[in-house]
Amino acid sequence: MLQHKNILLGVSGGIAAYKAAALASRLTQHGAKVKVVMTREAKEFVTPLTFQALTRERVYDDTFAEKEPEKVAHIDVADWADMIVIAPATANVIGKAAHGIADDMLTTIYLAATCPVYLAPAMNVNMYSHPAVQENMRHLEKRGCRFIEPGEGYLACGWIGKGRMAEPEEIVSFLDAQEPHPSHLKGKKMIVTAGPTYEYADPVRVFTNPSSGKMGFALAEEAAALGADVTLIAGPCQLETPPHVKRVDVTSAQDMYEAALEWFEDADIVIKAAAVSDYRPATRDASKTKKQDGDVVISMERTPDILAELGRRKKNQLLIGFAAESDRVVEYARGKLERKNLDMVVANDISAENAGFRTDTNEVILLTNEEPPRPLACMSKHETAKAILTHTESLLKGRS
């Protein structure tokens, strides 16, 4: 998937710069067109001539070396690139990127670029774990940059630990996996619901559940990366809106019901990953209920069943629900599949370790009407989202 891609390789000043030469060679062998930009410190480890010989391209190392008067070099190169790969990414260049400092060719190109940016950190283990470096990395991740995890082992400084730049082959494999492969989701209008709902008994007391929204947000992010037009209907949760996703914030089950119906008519796919409250207080006090002696009984009423209503209204939409169960998981999930007119149910055992609410991993079972249950291994919620979307694509292909 890297063939014919324009890749700008940024090399900063660390001993791992020697690996960047092998990386430039690997990328070129995979059919990519590679241009290299070096910091002043990088040239203390490897010469520009090395990269020029490997890529057959001019090496950029000076912001003010404008060799083509009709172009502004750092803007021209930023526009040319399909992706930027900074390897090695030192603590210094990570910090500059995080804070918008543009004092050399690499950082000015970074600020001018609109393409995906990948960084392969390389530094001493203590530097890598320093709170300042970790905070800078989090800042960049929030802006859409992706990090290629460093390895653990013997470092050039003599320490042993995490901080060794990923090997060139690993970086190439990582980049290849990030490139969008042809997807049946491209251009499809998708609704994803995520997070909990709040059902207020009075202005300060609510009935809710522990859902963090991580699974739904991961689905929205991965679907958007595949080219889907995603609307994320999110209950109260503290998560950043994924790139290229339209977010609609709601509070109660009634709010989510109304939002889902509003967007449903034009949708091609609906994935309802939200953990919606099944019951709400029958009445809501306008002021805070005062503490009193004895027990309190709160009368509860059913909230609207969003998934059942969407199943009733379904025309050509692909409708996918989640079933969070603590026992007889497959049995209850299959009942939901049939009862609510769904195309697929994603079932998970919320009592299982590393699955369900507030975890970063999940372990689910995919159920459809045509196939036997398909269990997935425990993996990150983003990897789980990718697997769910892959199966969603197969359902779309089956329809076509």
Q: What is the pLDDT of residues 141-195, one digit of tens each?
A: 988 899 998 887 766 667 677 778 989 998 998 888 775 566 889 999 999 999 9
Residue of 115, 145, 157, 378 marked active site: 157
Q: Please report, for the domain that includes residue 24, its CATH number.
A: 3.40.50.1950
Q: Which of 151, 178, 205 represents a domain boundary (last residue)? A: 178
Q: Which of 178, 208, 242 represents a domain boundary (last residue)? A: 178
Same domain, 85 and 20: yes
pLDDT at 173: 84
SS3 label, residue 155: coil
Between 256 and 359, residue with greater pLDDT: 256
What are φ and ψ of residue 188, in 5° steps?
A: -75, 140
Would you give the end-to-end CA distance of the chain in angstroms? 26
Write the DSSP symbol of residue 146: E
Q: What is the pLDDT of residues 201-232, one digit of tens each?
A: 999 999 999 999 999 999 999 999 889 999 99
* Residue 283 domain-assigned (yes or no): no
Reported confidence tier of residue 400, pLDDT bands at 50, 70, 90: low
Residue 245 has pLDDT above 90, yes or no: yes
Same domain, 227 and 319: yes
Q: How far apart are CA 206 and CA 331, in angstroms?
A: 31
Could you tell me the CA-to-CA distances from 208 to 230, 241, 256, 283, 285 in Å, in that order?
26, 22, 14, 16, 17
Quote the number of domains for the chain. 2
Position of tokens 């779309």? 396
The DSSP result for 353-388, as a single string, is TT-STT-SEE-EEEE-SSS--EE--SEEHHHHHHHH
Residue 145: active-site member: no
Residue 269 has pLDDT above 80, yes or no: yes
Same domain, 150 and 194: no
Q: What is the pLDDT of residues 277-304, one digit of tens each?
A: 999 999 999 999 888 899 989 999 999 9
Token pair for 385 = 């989202």
Closest Cα to residue 11, out of 65, 86, 61, 74?
86
Residue pair 124/159 in contact by the 8 Å Cβ criterion: yes
Residue pair 244/164 in contact by the 8 Å Cβ criterion: no
Q: What is the pLDDT of residues 152-162, one digit of tens each?
A: 776 666 767 77
Q: Please report, for the domain that includes residue 385, its CATH number.
A: 3.40.50.10300
Same domain, 117 and 244: no
* Residue 314 domain-assigned (yes or no): yes
Same domain, 252 and 322: yes
Mean pLDDT of 19-41: 95
Q: How far apart are CA 53 and CA 64, in angstroms?
A: 23
Amino acid at 138: R
* Residue 287 domain-assigned (yes or no): no
Using a 10 angstrom Cβ sphere, with 0-12 exposed, 13-18 middle and 19 or more buried, the burial of residue 238 is exposed
Q: How far apart are CA 379 and CA 385, in angstroms?
A: 10
Same domain, 204 and 269: yes
Same domain, 112 and 211: no
Residue 40 has pLDDT above 90, yes or no: yes
SS3 label, residue 90: coil
Between 288 and 357, residue with greater pLDDT: 288
Residue pair 42/11 in contact by the 8 Å Cβ criterion: yes
Residue pair 179/226 in contact by the 8 Å Cβ criterion: no
pLDDT at 162: 77
Q: What is the pLDDT of residues 75-130, one digit of tens each?
A: 999 999 999 999 999 999 999 999 999 999 999 999 999 999 999 999 988 899 99
pLDDT at 156: 67
Q: Is the peptide bond before 88 cis (omega within 30 degrees of 0)?
A: yes
Domain span at residue 142 reads 6-178
Residue 346 has pLDDT above 70, yes or no: yes
Same domain, 245 and 100: no
Reported confidence tier of residue 383, pLDDT bands at 50, 70, 90: confident
The DSSP result for 141-176, as a single string, is HHTT-EE-PPEEEE-TTS-EEEEEPPPHHHHHHHHH
